[in-house]
Structure 1
Amino acid sequence: MAGNPRNGRPYRRLVAHVKALGMPCARCGGYINPDLDPRSGWSFTLDHIVPLSRGGSLLDPANARSMHRRCNSARGNRTGTTAPQRTSRKW
């Protein structure tokens, strides 16, 4: 397959479908404003429940959910949705 599959019509269709559902962020539960600039940390991104790097399907709707860009970046390729435990800097 030539090119990046994330630029293909099936992927764009999946992103549009999940975005149109208007679901809150799967990580923090906050509202995702669909009109924000895509570069904003609070904008919509498609998150894969099972990360692609761990064998998750790119185009499976059951593997896709809404997430803020910053929440998705913070999650990385971990499989959980909760924020990692933070420790105090005063130890």
Structure 2
Amino acid sequence: MAGIRNGRPYRRLVEQQRRLGLPCWICGHNIPANVDGRRHPLAFTLDHLIPLSRGGDLLDPANARSAHRRCNSARGNRTRGTPQTRASRRW
């Protein structure tokens, strides 16, 4: 599956989603266009509403969402949009 992510259909989907200029679907904040896409935590990434590990379709535009790199990473493969927060332990 890793080879497909480097393929033309996937790159086309990423560019189509990026051009929409939508905010991050997880946190709701705008995604800046002028940041390094490989390193910056606020950079654009393509997230999938239904994670690929849970049967989501890699190339389905209806499954594609715009997200910040850090929001996408924090969400992991959960199906909820917002990352889970841990309750602090009281000792």
Question: If the length of structure 2 is used for normalisation, what is the TM-score?
Answer: 0.92
1:23 paired residue number? 22
Letter in structure 2 aligned against 1:37: D
Would you say how many aligned residue pairs link Structure 1 and Structure 2?
A: 90
Shift of residue 89, structure 1, vs aligned partner? 4.0
* Identical columns (%): 63
Shift of residue 7, structure 1, vs aligned partner? 0.6
Cα distance in 1 for residues equivalent to 2:50 and 2:63: 6
Q: Is 1:8 matched up with 2:7?
A: yes
Stretches of 4+ moved more than 2 A in 1?
A: none
Cα distance in 1 for residues equivalent to 2:33 and 2:49: 21
Letter in structure 2 aligned against 1:13: R
Cα distance in 2 for residues equivalent to 1:73 and 1:49: 13
Letter in structure 1 aligned against 2:67: M
Cα distance in 2 for residues equivalent to 1:44 and 1:63: 16
Aligned pairs for 1:65-84 within 5 A? 65-84=65-84
Cα distance in 2 for residues equivalent to 1:90 and 1:69: 32
Letter in structure 2 aligned against 1:15: V
**For each residue in 1:49-73, what CA deviation from the matched residue of structure 2 results, as whole angstroms up to 9, or x when unmatched?**
0000111000000000100000000
Unaligned runs of 5+ in 2: none
Shift of residue 85, structure 1, vs aligned partner? 3.1
Letter in structure 2 aligned against 1:87: A
Shift of residue 90, structure 1, vs aligned partner? 3.4
